[in-house]
Structure 1
Amino acid sequence: MNAPATVQQSPIAAMASRLSIDEEQMQGIVMNTLMKAKGNNAQVTNEEFVTFLAIANEYGLNPLSKEIYAFSNRGAIQPIVSIDGWLTIINSNPHFDGMEFEDTLDGSGNLSAITCRIHRKDRNRPTEVTEYLSECMGSSEPWKKWPARMLRHKATIQAARYAFGLSGIVDPDEAERIKQGNAEEKEINPQPAARPALEYYPAESFGENFPKWRDAIESGKKTPEQIIQMVSSKALLSDEQKQQIMEVAA
């Protein structure tokens, strides 16, 4: 006799069951979280919704307690795992066998680095990661108030990545740096201003309107090729007229 087929739960049903909450209410909470991350009236794609659920379920994280949430990275949803979420992942791993920290001080007695060692039951040696304050120190308020705590979090998270092969998630500090990097890139490479469209002119008015086309080319609003294409869509230009337009940018 064949065994009955196992009915596979949907990601939202699996999360709702795991957190003992109504499925419809769970979906509303997750959608609200993602919509806030993308901005008011922004559309959350089905792929983003499913991906967020899949990551939360894979690592057993609770979005209700902010163990996992999201932000918009170049218009796409990026899951963020808080330090509480990272500790949940670490402590729920069956191979986890404790972790320890070691502070490194500079010649003046100030903290310069923190080493995190994570022990696994299935390995003889611990996974060890050292994070340096000079490399990790951020400009956010938490870094200004609690640099030692923030550095300890960074060491914990990086050691967890190495020890358990975690991917697809970032911590709040990394998310803040990504946002800052995106903002700086926009300042360095601003979107070009929209070029105003030129009117279409009959070919017989070439001499009359040539100064306007020349000014548009010299100011960078249009290229010679664009001028020729726009004018030629209404009437044919002679090769001599096209050459005159091309010579403006020469």
Structure 2
Amino acid sequence: MTTNTTKPSADSSETAAGKKSEKLKETLAAKFCSRFSIESEEKLLSILKSTAFKVKDGEVTDEQMQALLIVSDQYGLNPFTKEIFAYPDKNNGIVPVVSIDGWLRIINQHPMMDGMNFENSNNWLTPDNGKTSPEWMECILYRKDRNHPVRIKEYLDEVYRAPFEKKNQNNGQTYLVNGPWQTHTKRIMRHKSLIQCARYAFGFAGLYDEDEALRILEDNDNSVIDVQAEVINSEPVKLSNTDIKTLDRLTTRCITENSWQGAIDWINSNRNPELANVMVDALNKNKNDFEKGKLIAPNATQTQSQSQSTLVSNQTSGDEKDKGTDSVRKTNLDEARKRLN
């Protein structure tokens, strides 16, 4: 009896590996098509390539798309609702990023999850351009199968991301860019402690939050994407005439009622983060000018006259309202308007 001991050629091995990889890709793609009711795999991949990858230039490869599908499938995350997305790295791989909504999903869906709690330091710090925040924040996660909870502290001085400089492509001038660490310092601290604690408690590996992903890409001098563009637009936000008039009204009210913090809270609640940053900065400048005597507070007669004018204008026409209020603002806020323009 003769036994054939001929070994398969390298070409046939590569072909078999390629077919296996293609089968895996097709299986995952078909699974996602069924899960999200998408009629074809081609359309699925096309949608995900354009929405689930943060790319400045270039194209997303099929291999990168497959890597994202594998991670998404492993943790049951939805790429269409931004629970997971990815940055391509310069080695044709990916940096998988899980949003806070995605982290909360995989934490709360873990079968051993038994609750969480947060504690924070009584010592508060104010970082560069940030808001006052606890020196540290601790997340406490409880598992059903353990007698003791997992407790992880994150310290502000270690995780805080300072504002960075951005260059205007038109005039070459640089300006500071504020990101989530400046607008929502305490919230991001809480997110960081939760994510790190979840890694210790449940062993989540190979996943990053967006802050970590951007730092990784910056450290690697990645030229594939503009990592800073993820925080704000590439150009400074400009105030519209409506925004400037709103600032005028807010400033006049703050001067007469000393309600600066209330105005800041209103701006943060009613404007997108990028526009809110610019408006709050402008309002703070107006406050400093007022405290230095550069802006004059309306007297009681002016304030009463303005209120009566506003009341009448509401019953007649918007044009008369603008005329009445603008006369007061013009007296007190000419310098602020020039600075905003």
Fold match by TM threshold 0.5: yes
Which residue is 1:104 aligned to?
121
Quick one: distance in 2 between partners of 1:146 and 1:83?
14
Q: Is the 8 A contact 1:61 1:85 kept in 2?
A: yes
With over 3 angstroms needed to count, the CA separation of the structure-2 counterparts of 1:146 and 1:77, relative to structure 1, is same
Unaligned runs of 5+ in 2: 1-23, 126-131, 164-178, 224-341
* Equivalent runs, 1:105-124 vs 2, <5 Å: 105-106=122-123, 111-124=134-147
What amino acid sits opposite 2:59 in the alignment? A
Quick one: distance in 2 between partners of 1:137 and 1:162?
21
Which residue is 1:240 aligned to?
none
After TM superposition, give the deviation of residue 180 of structure 1 in Å: 2.5
Q: Rg larger in 1 or in 2?
A: 1
Which residue is 2:104 aligned to?
87
Please state whether the residue corresponding to 2:121 is helix, strand or coil.
strand
What amino acid sits opposite 1:87 in the alignment? L
Percent sequence identity is: 39
Quick one: distance in 2 between partners of 1:21 and 1:45?
18
After TM superposition, give the deviation of residue 43 of structure 1 in Å: 4.8
Q: Please state if 1:180 is matched with 2:218.
A: yes
Which residue is 1:158 aligned to?
196
Q: 2:151 aligns with which of 110, 114, 128?
A: 128
After TM superposition, give the deviation of residue 173 of structure 1 in Å: 0.6
* 1:106-146 alpha-carbon deviations (Å, 9 max, x no partner): 27795101110111111111111110001010125100111
Which residue is 1:77 aligned to?
94
After TM superposition, give the deviation of residue 44 of structure 1 in Å: 0.9
4+ aligned runs moved over 6 Å, structure 1: none
What amino acid sits opposite 1:117 in the alignment? I
Q: Is the 8 A contact 2:49 2:60 kept in 1?
A: no
Quick one: distance in 1 between partners of 2:35 and 2:67?
17
Q: Is the 8 A contact 2:89 2:222 kept in 1?
A: no
What amino acid sits opposite 1:62 in the alignment? N
Quick one: distance in 2 between partners of 1:37 and 1:145?
22
Quick one: distance in 1 between partners of 2:206 and 2:197?
15
Q: How many residues are aligned here?
A: 177
TM-score for both structures, normalised by structure 2:
0.48
Quick one: distance in 2 between partners of 1:150 and 1:136?
9
Which residue is 1:68 aligned to?
84
After TM superposition, give the deviation of residue 177 of structure 1 in Å: 1.2
* Equivalent runs, 1:20-99 vs 2, <5 Å: 20-24=37-41, 25-33=43-51, 36-46=53-63, 48-75=64-91, 76-99=93-116
Please state whether the residue corresponding to 1:21 is helix, strand or coil.
coil
Quick one: distance in 2 between partners of 1:12 and 1:153?
31
When the two chains are superposed, the root-mean-square deviation of aligned CA atoms in Å is 2.6
Quick one: distance in 1 between partners of 2:75 and 2:112?
14
Q: 1:146 aligns with which of 184, 189, 193?
A: 184
Quick one: distance in 2 between partners of 1:86 and 1:173?
14
With over 3 angstroms needed to count, the CA separation of the structure-2 counterparts of 1:110 and 1:30, relative to structure 1, is closer
Quick one: distance in 2 between partners of 1:176 and 1:133?
18
With over 3 angstroms needed to count, the CA separation of the structure-2 counterparts of 1:107 and 1:92, relative to structure 1, is closer
Please state whether the residue corresponding to 2:135 is helix, strand or coil.
strand
Please state whether the residue corresponding to 1:105 is helix, strand or coil.
coil
What amino acid sits opposite 1:30 in the alignment? L
